[in-house]
Structure 1
């Protein structure tokens, strides 16, 4: 890994600014899960209907992100970030003012469009602002905002909603968006070549996003996320039913998982700067083994919790090496491809929840979910080995 002299570490300031924006946007995305019961009762809908606020958001991210990435390719990056945050603030205010379910759903869809576009912009900008040899670390810092949102933002937003009403949470996230706008204005360089790099032709963006190796990166991102979110979606019932852990301990366990995810994200970036190939092979192989082990020791509560933490730690290493790889493969036109990685993640998240639900509905029980997840991680390992094999023939960047 490359050592960066203290004088040159000013590149970290705008990256930390992007981390703060990620935290804000992801808190607004994820906090809805903790507000569903009170929100559903207030708007006169049942919990499954209210749950479509989560599903609709994911669909909006997956579809709107790539479309907007093409449409905004020639907008300066700092200007685009400020526009994204302006729409984000508006969306949160509309959530707080919503008098019915359909208005709230529309506001959430508006916010999801910002989310899908933001991650593509942030990842590309982080890669351009980072010094040589630190691209993956920069991307991991941006993505770490997701873990901080899980650890701090969601519990805090849920507590505010429970104490002051769910609308208060969205007023707070709107205010956080305004603060994030000030951070962009202050920290993101408006006159830097990295921030205002010329946009590529839309046809070149599409061709770059559809290059075979890039398509393989999408698959290698989405497939392990199916594995990860099949387990994550049913983590609480797995731990309470299969491992016999009292429900009162679950918040502490979720906090531990959040901390493990944060550490994994940061360390994954550092390891990817050292050797992306070794890092990716290790992620897939280690989590395959851990999941197989979990299926055998689920009845031991504390061993199960320790393995869960390790799975979270290793699983959250995944984004940085693959995102930075896509940036290298599409350096001539990275905007659409970076956004498509977010689309791949949303498909993986939705697929994981769906496969887990199918397994439970088929009568297999929570104990079988780790085996399902291990199978998808093993498939991801095959995909990474194919990628490495292609690289050895082409002699480029991952090995």
Structure 2
């Protein structure tokens, strides 16, 4: 059986040597993605301290994460279309500047309303960054290596997810929650400098070649990809947003740091494994990711009282999830080809909206049915995702090109 080859119908710049990835440029894109998701997750590890400063409840302060994701979801498509003709590097630098300034001002804020407004603006910055990364990486890579380039560029997302909460907690213990936001702003500024020096400037999309959103949504295969992505990401955020409550429920609250470390390590390992194989085995990797994630959630639900099995399940979860953004974005690019740019913005909208929905739905489930309910809700969603992926062997996740 021949597996899917990730192909991008875009010109290869002269800066990319044949069969060699432009490592320095891809590192700049990786850092941009890392900063985006790190900024989004940062408050989750700072909630008690931020709550005291802002004079609100933990649940209200937690909405700083939800609002950020919502802003990214709302902004991704209109901002991508508004800047489609701009040079890609200029868009990326503008977006990073918005995130850097918003983070610095958030550290200075002691007003809840102002903080929420700044988080919304920062989320809009991310709404510009994420739709850029996959297509930018593909255009920088030599032919036949686009999938690996996408995996490298988008690896910042799972690593940022894995490290966002523990990094925030660590920095808060050293110098307060404000230090975490100052540090994020500083790293963003350094990323801007790296992008300026190392990332080639590519042209935007000419107006006459732009495709309408309605035309993209009816492309065969795209809607199953978006459905699978939504169910997968909502399931992840049901669990990850409330991982502290979940671990407390199974009597492992004191091991939260180690459990998150395990998740992070296997997420990074996933990036390495998927990056080496995505160009030849995209379908197989997506199927394995959804099935392994589902099995790990089942283990968490059935044998959650056994610490060693919890670690095994979380390790499998991290390995399954680690490169999922690369897999779904790669599938969307394959399915849409000439409409890949707008398809990526749609994919990012679904991705970000799923983060907000997962966080919100998880809170409702815990309040109404208890912590254990989020595990079973996540499992139902993953069964739907896996069924969609497995069934989409013709267009969405094809077995052959």
Q: Shared topology, TM-score over 0.5?
A: yes
Does residue 46 of the first structure (1) align with residue 57 of the second (2)?
yes
Does residue 196 of the first structure (1) align with residue 203 of the second (2)?
yes
By how many angstroms is 1:180 displaced?
A: 0.9
Cα displacement string for residues 222-270 of structure 1 (whole angstroms, at most 9, x for unaligned residues): 111122222223333333323x32x322211111111112222332333
Alignment of 1:98-109 (within 5 A): 98-109=109-120
Query: 192, 214, 222: which one pairs with 2:222?
Result: 214
Residue aligned with 2:382, SS: helix
By how many angstroms is 1:200 displaced?
A: 5.1
Match of 1:328 in 2: 334
By how many angstroms is 1:391 displaced?
A: 6.3
Match of 2:178 in 1: 167
Does residue 144 of the first structure (1) align with residue 150 of the second (2)?
no
Cα displacement string for residues 296-351 of structure 1 (whole angstroms, at most 9, x for unaligned residues): 22221111221121122112332222211212333323222112211111222233
Alignment of 1:278-317 (within 5 A): 278-317=284-323
Residue aligned with 1:389, SS: coil
Query: 354, 376, 382: which one pairs with 1:348?
Result: 354
Distance 1:118 1:173 in 2: 16
Distance 2:50 2:18 in 1: 49
Residue aligned with 1:204, SS: coil
Distance 1:296 1:222 in 2: 25
Match of 1:32 in 2: 43
**Partners of 2:298 and 2:379 within 8 A in 1:** yes
Residues 390 and 176 of structure 1, relative CA distance in 2, 3 Å threshold: closer
**Partners of 2:85 and 2:204 within 8 A in 1:** no
Match of 2:391 in 1: 386
Residues 273 and 240 of structure 1, relative CA distance in 2, 3 Å threshold: same
Task: Give me the TM-score of the superposition, normalised by structure 1.
Answer: 0.88
Q: Tell me, which stretches of 5 or more residues in structure 2 are unaligned?
A: 6-15
Alignment of 1:188-267 (within 5 A): 188-190=199-201, 195-199=202-206, 201=208, 204-206=211-213, 207-242=215-250, 244-245=251-252, 247-267=253-273
Residues 199 and 167 of structure 1, relative CA distance in 2, 3 Å threshold: farther
By how many angstroms is 1:99 displaced?
A: 4.3
Query: 264, 270, 274: which one pairs with 2:280?
Result: 274
By how many angstroms is 1:388 displaced?
A: 1.0
Residues 234 and 211 of structure 1, relative CA distance in 2, 3 Å threshold: same
Does residue 117 of the first structure (1) align with residue 118 of the second (2)?
no
Does residue 87 of the first structure (1) align with residue 92 of the second (2)?
no
Query: RMSD of the alignment, in Å?
Result: 2.6
Cα displacement string for residues 98-129 of structure 1 (whole angstroms, at most 9, x for unaligned residues): 24221111111111001011010111101211
Match of 2:187 in 1: 176
By how many angstroms is 1:6 displaced?
A: 8.7
Distance 2:121 2:379 in 1: 36
Cα displacement string for residues 181-221 of structure 1 (whole angstroms, at most 9, x for unaligned residues): 1111111112xxxx225345485152235424222211111
Cα displacement string for residues 49-69 of structure 1 (whole angstroms, at most 9, x for unaligned residues): 212211111110100111100
Q: How many residues align?
A: 387
Distance 1:391 1:42 in 2: 47
| Bigger Cα displacement from structure 2, 103-112 vs 346-355 | 346-355
Cα displacement string for residues 127-155 of structure 1 (whole angstroms, at most 9, x for unaligned residues): 21122232222222222213333455543
Residues 374 and 331 of structure 1, relative CA distance in 2, 3 Å threshold: same
Residues 384 and 137 of structure 1, relative CA distance in 2, 3 Å threshold: same
By how many angstroms is 1:354 displaced?
A: 3.9
| Bigger Cα displacement from structure 2, 119-128 vs 83-92 | 83-92
| Bigger Cα displacement from structure 2, 251-260 vs 282-291 | 282-291
Residues 398 and 38 of structure 1, relative CA distance in 2, 3 Å threshold: farther
Match of 2:13 in 1: none
Q: Tell me, which stretches of 5 or more residues in structure 1 are unaligned?
A: none
Distance 2:364 2:106 in 1: 32
Q: Going by fraction, where is helix more abundant, 1 or 2? A: 1
